[in-house]
Every structure is written in structure tokens, then in C-alpha cells.
Structure 1
Amino acid sequence: MDSPEGATIRSEQKFRKFLKSLVRKQPRDLLLVIGTGVSAAVAPGIPALCSWRSCIEAVLGAAEQLEVLHPGDVAEFRNKVKKERDLLVVAHDLIRKMSPRTGDTKPNFFQDCLMEVFDNLEQHIQNPVVLQSILRLMERGTMVLTTNYDNLLEIFGQQQGKPMESLDLKDKDKVLQWARGHVKYGVLHIHGLYTDPCGMVLDPSGYKDVTQDPEVMEVLQNLYRTKSFLFLGCGETLRDQIFQALFLYTVKNKVDLEHYMLVLKENEDHFFKLQADMLLHGIKVVSYGDCFQQFPEYVQDLTAQICKQRSPDAERVDSTTPLGTSCVDCAKRKLGESGTDSPKRIKGSNNDVPTLQ
């Protein structure tokens, strides 16, 4: 039986209003940016998925167990995790500490630690509601990129029979195909994937071949200009150096854009200040509630609202026929009642669906 608290959460969600400018977007006009909040909602049993802080702490624990980092360094990084506000900097320094002293990315101990932390991910999927919603949008043309190292979405999608693909920025051809909308179930991991033997990076210099390629940069930045980015479970994404390099640094007139970010409203003053600040980046900050448990249902309801929208293509098809959106049986009946000749069939077709010529 549902607890009173759970019933209250559902009641609040049920009557929550959504921004019409968001729910009236066509799915193919959206690009989802997935952060740690999505993974935390899906697999709460893995602390490393909950936040950058939890991830770094878990990696340090694995490094200590595997003895791939000096005990003094482990202690130093644990102290940084407690004191440092910019955890992306800490993560970057940790990767460098366990990587070769070269500019290019090669196999490193950081990857081994992540593989230890994220072992058997598929067994930890407990609440797939958010992933179901994301797949529903992807079916209708929504693109997806993530700052996460995990592939929970791909694992779940494959379980549902979808041809999921994990993409890396270093595969230029695939990235271009994805950016042009030709990889329907592709998920672009801008930091890489924990299973990738080349390792992961947080510094744009690690992707210098990408950021210095005019063709790749133009097609990626064009997405930021032409799509509405919807940030899900993202806390530090706009401070992420790679995200900045790919989408923010050279995109002009960001205030004229219309992107969206779902956030937890724990403190009203902080929330409304964040709203004002993000509008300068062309981002509308929206609260999904005042507790994290409301996040999955909010995403589910939001997705349902977006998917209710009729596509312009469907409306154009309807407008070309005198029968609007009527079903085939109704069309036959109406044609018979009006005395109109039966529609012509496609030559050589064996089915009973008529076409107007």
C-alpha cells in the first residue's frame, strides 16, 4: 500500500503545470543532455552514479584497493573532494595522476577503477522510468548526449530491443552522422565511456583533434543553435570544460536561444537566482519539485505531454485529404454516403488501404 508521502508526491506531480513553450516542442526539436541525476534515479544502489563527488570517492576507493595510486595521493585527493568546490577540476587532476604524462589519451588506471566501480551495471537498474521516457522521445527523433561515463541507457534500450549505439567524440564519421540525425538510437558520450580502452578525459586538450576540426565544431554548434537542449539530472554541466568547448564558447547570442534545465528546488532564493543567471545563457530553469524522488515521475509526465503533440508532417498529410484524420473505415463510409467514387488503389498493391489520387 502506498505511503502518505508517496501519495502526496504523486498528487503534486499530477497537478503540476508545464511550460507550454517546452511541451509544445516536437520531440525531434529536442536534444537531451543527461547528467548524473538520471543514473542516480535509475540505479540508486551504485553510489558512484549519484554525483561527481560520489564518483570521485568511489574511484579513489577502487584505486586504493587495486593499489594503483600511492596512499599519500589517495589521502590528498580525499581531502580535495571535501574542500574543493569545483569537483570537475579534482576529477581532471585525478585522471591526469593515473594517466601517462602525454597529451594524447592512452589506456590508464582511471579506466580500470571505473570498470571496478561500474561492474555489472545491468543488475542494478531498479527504477527505469526515466530511461523509458528517454527512449520514448528517441523513438520520435530526440537526440541524446551525456556527460556520464556509464551506459545505463544503452543497456536498458538493448533490453527493450532497440539498436542502441554508444558514440565517442573521437569517431569523427559517427559523430557527424549522429549530429545530422542519422543515428536514431545513438548516445554521444562527450567524456567517453568507462568501457573504452582509450580512457576518458575532462580537458578539451584531450579532444584537440575534435575542437580544432571546423566541420565537427560547426555541426555540433549548429545543434546548440537549432535544437532546444533539455538538461536532465545535470548540475555542473555548464561548467564542464568539454561542454563549454563544444557548445558554449563560440555560439553567439545565447540569450536568444531557448533551452531548458530541470532542477531540484531545495532553496527558493538559490533557485530564483539560478533562473535569472541561466536566462543569460538562453536556458529556462524549471523545478521538478523539492525532493529528488519527484524527478522520475516529472520526466515521465513531461514526456507524455511532449509526445501528445502532432507532428507537422502528420498535419500536412491530413490537410491534403478532404477527410482530415478519419480512419480508413470512416473514410469509406463517408465516401459512400456522399456518392463519391471509391479511391483508386495503388497499382500492383494487394492491401485494402485506399489512396487518393
Structure 2
Amino acid sequence: MPGSEMDSSERSTIRSEQKSRKFLKSLIRKQPRDLLLVIGTGVSAAVAPGIPALCSWRSCIEAVIEAAEQLEVLHPGDVAEFRKKVIKDRDLLVVAHDLIRKMSPRTGDMKPNFFQDCLMEVFDNLEQHIQNPVVLQSILRLMERGTMVLTTNYDNLLEIFGQQQGKPMESLDLKDKDKVLQWARGHIKYGVLHIHGLYTDPCGMVLDPSGYKDVTQDPEVMEVLQNLYRTKSFLFLGCGETLRDQIFQALFLYTVKNKVDLEHYMLVLKENEDHFFKLQADMLLHGIKVVSYGDCFKQFPEYVQDLTAQICKQRSPDADRVDSTTLLGTSCVDCAKRKLGENGSDSPKRSKQSDRDIPAI
């Protein structure tokens, strides 16, 4: 039929345009081991579109409120009030935080709470909802080569898929100091750090640093985590609100100086050009290069797949030496070395180790 032919032609054109997109050389020349992936709700939405709660923070909160009403663990008046907040309030992280507190014990300690029960209702049988594993395959490919992964998501889709592929996946929580230190030092190859916790965790999840005060007040943990932000290139995938996230800020942003000198990356949807270029300019102040994967969310998985293929080509030590001797590469490495040297908390021995982790562009 003519309509079908046109649809097929349009799909081919879109795919051709996507294939011809250029990637930033400063990104595709990174060694996988020099990257740290930050996974947001966009990844889960692409993988399991059948679960609305995975599509965004707003969808997740709405689904939790719905579950709370069905399970009768939230007063009807509170249900109505939270539904209004989801519609009106711009800061959804605050709404989510208030929702958690409403269904948690009124103590300073995190105990089992009804919020966890609601999430278990929302995320039931996740493994049956994996429809488009392309992004997860790409992430695993990078992890095989040394890329680290952390997520703000409550779900464990990546771990489920990785285990199906025979990988020894491990979900990590900030409350386990020993595991966090091992992960941050690169000793847990297939570890995924959930900075908000996991929906299956009986201790519940939190959205503000006070819930992890033992972590944020531990110098050893904070030092090793913040050193990652100084020496790795963070690649934000499917992240919309991450930089506004209080826990992410507490772990990586608050005490890291000279962020403008760093080089991180964020893949975003370009729906509006003015908004996109303003976001680019704003994020450079945080040392983050904003890159468009396209003007349609459906382009996201293929873009990540192609980007991963480009990065995984950079495996030759000879290529590393060529990249590091270019004028741009040398300049960035020297800046990073000088920046680490100026940080009074870095001992000479540790600075030397960090220098080896600094990616050449």
C-alpha cells in the first residue's frame, strides 16, 4: 500500500539521518574505563515503555499515589492533596520526598515503610516488561570494558537484564560503606550504585541527604566519590532532574571545586532549539557538555547504541598515546593534573593515581 511504503521510506530517512549524525570527538575518544554512566528514568522508559511509572518522576509519583490509594495506606484527603501537588508543583523531588515521609515512621531512622510497598506494587514483575533492551545491551557492553554505572532509579532493570545475559550483576546501596568503597575504586565490575536505594530494599528509600547522613559525613566515602567526579567523565543518560537531585548534589557537586574545568556529558531530547541552546550554555558552567540525541525520544536507543560502538572502538594503547599528544588533549590533561594538585585534600600518592585515571580527549 502507498501509505505503508511512505511509512517505510520515512523510517529509512530517519534512520539514515540518525546514522549520519556526528559525535563529539572529545566523547567518542574516551576509553570506556574513563566513563561513569549516570542512568535516569529515560533509560527505563525506553526499555520498558509498558510501565508508566518508569517514564518520568511525575509518572512514578502518580503511580505510587494510585497504589497508596488502592492499598489504603494513605488517607483519602492526603491522596487528593498529593494529586494536586503533582499537577501544580514544579519541584517534583520535593513532592516525592513529602510523599515518602508521609508513609514512613516519624523518626530519624529509616525503617520499613509503606512507600516501599507501593513501589513493589508499581514495579511488580519487571522482567516481564523488558521490550527494548538495546540501551541495556549498550550499557553492559561499556561495563564489560570498565565503565562504572550509578543510577537515580528505584528499579533494577539493568541488573535483571544483565543476569539474563550471564553477568554477575550486583545492586549496591549507599548504606553499605564497604561495598560503596569497593565500587568507587573499580573493584565491582558489574555493580550498579542506586543512590536513592532500590525498591526491594526493606529499609526504604530516601530523597534527601539527611537519610544518608552517615555517608555524607564520612570523609573517606565522600572523598572517594567526589574523586570520581574529578577524574571520570560522567555521561548522563535519560536524566532530566539529576543535577537538581539533593543526594547527587551532596555526593558529587557541593564540595567539588572548579566544576567548569571538568568534562562531563549529558544526552538530551532537543524539542525546542532556544531551550536546548540555553541549556547547553548553562550546563557548561557545571562542566557538562549537553548533546542532542535527536528531536524524538524514539531516537534515543539507537543513538546510545551507535555512540557505544564508537567509544568501544577506542581500545588501542597506541591510539591513546596519539590522542594524549594532541594540543587539546595535552591541555585538558594538564589542567586536570593542576586542578588535582591544587586540591589540598589530595595526597601526592593519591594524586598520582588520579592522574592515571584522567581521560585524554
TM range (shorter): 0.7 to 0.9
Q: Structure 1 residues 66, 22: closer, same or farther in 2, change over 3 A?
A: same
Aligned-residue offset at 1:7: 1.9
Q: Gaps (5+ residues) in structure 2?
A: 1-5
C-alpha separation in 2, matches of 1:83 and 1:96: 20
Q: Structure 1 residues 124, 331: closer, same or farther in 2, change over 3 A?
A: closer
For residues 1-357 of structure 1, what are the structure 2 equivalents within 5 Å? 3-312=8-317
Q: Structure 1 residues 161, 280: closer, same or farther in 2, change over 3 A?
A: same
SS in structure 2 at match of 1:348: helix
Answer yes or no: is the 8 Å Cα contact 2:35–2:232 preserved in 1. yes
Q: Structure 1 residues 19, 103: closer, same or farther in 2, change over 3 A?
A: same
Answer yes or no: is the 8 Å Cα contact 1:105–1:199 preserved in 2. yes
Q: Structure 1 residues 81, 353: closer, same or farther in 2, change over 3 A?
A: closer
Q: Deviations over 1:116-139 (max 9, x none)?
A: 000000000000000000000000
Answer yes or no: is the 8 Å Cα contact 1:278–1:284 preserved in 2. yes
Q: Deviations over 1:127-155 (max 9, x none)?
A: 00000000000000000000000000000
Q: Structure 1 residues 306, 70: closer, same or farther in 2, change over 3 A?
A: same
Aligned-residue offset at 1:103: 1.5
Aligned-residue offset at 1:329: 41
C-alpha separation in 2, matches of 1:56 and 1:345: 42
C-alpha separation in 1, matches of 2:35 and 2:192: 14
C-alpha separation in 1, matches of 2:266 and 2:272: 16
Q: Which moved more, 1:218-227 or 1:326-335?
A: 326-335
Q: Deviations over 1:288-347 (max 9, x none)?
A: 000100000000000000000124289799999999999999999999999999999999
Q: Gaps (5+ residues) in structure 1?
A: none
Answer yes or no: is the 8 Å Cα contact 1:323–1:331 preserved in 2. no
The TM-score, its normalising length taken from structure 2, stands at: 0.87
C-alpha separation in 2, matches of 1:341 and 1:98: 42
Q: Structure 1 residues 199, 349: closer, same or farther in 2, change over 3 A?
A: closer
Aligned-residue offset at 1:166: 0.1
Aligned-residue offset at 1:6: 2.4
Q: Deviations over 1:139-190 (max 9, x none)?
A: 0000000000000000000000000000000000000000000000000000
Answer yes or no: is the 8 Å Cα contact 1:26–1:311 preserved in 2. no
Answer yes or no: is the 8 Å Cα contact 2:110–2:211 preserved in 1. yes
C-alpha separation in 1, matches of 2:336 and 2:209: 58
C-alpha separation in 2, matches of 1:237 and 1:354: 23
Count the aligned residue pairs.
356
SS in structure 2 at match of 1:288: strand
The TM-score, its normalising length taken from structure 1, stands at: 0.87
Q: Deviations over 1:264-288 (max 9, x none)?
A: 0000000000000000000000000
Aligned-residue offset at 1:9: 2.2
Q: Structure 1 residues 352, 295: closer, same or farther in 2, change over 3 A?
A: closer
Answer yes or no: is the 8 Å Cα contact 1:33–1:231 preserved in 2. yes
SS in structure 1 at match of 2:172: strand
Answer yes or no: is the 8 Å Cα contact 1:343–1:355 preserved in 2. no
Q: Deviations over 1:14-47 (max 9, x none)?
A: 1000000000000000000000000000000000
| RMSD after superposition | 11.0
Aligned-residue offset at 1:11: 1.2
Q: Which moved more, 1:300-309 or 1:346-355?
A: 346-355
Rg larger for: 1
C-alpha separation in 2, matches of 1:351 and 1:226: 9
Q: Structure 1 residues 4, 219: closer, same or farther in 2, change over 3 A?
A: same
Answer yes or no: is the 8 Å Cα contact 1:344–1:355 preserved in 2. no
Q: Structure 1 residues 2, 246: closer, same or farther in 2, change over 3 A?
A: same
Q: Which moved more, 1:178-187 or 1:317-326?
A: 317-326
Identical counterparts, % of pairs: 93
C-alpha separation in 1, matches of 2:227 and 2:243: 17
Answer yes or no: is the 8 Å Cα contact 1:258–1:284 preserved in 2. yes
C-alpha separation in 2, matches of 1:52 and 1:150: 12
Aligned-residue offset at 1:12: 1.4
Q: Structure 1 residues 127, 309: closer, same or farther in 2, change over 3 A?
A: same
Q: Structure 1 residues 4, 176: closer, same or farther in 2, change over 3 A?
A: same
Q: Which has the higher helix share?
A: 2
Q: Deviations over 1:225-282 (max 9, x none)?
A: 0000000000000000000000000000000000000000000000000000000000
Q: Structure 1 residues 345, 288: closer, same or farther in 2, change over 3 A?
A: closer
C-alpha separation in 2, matches of 1:31 and 1:140: 12
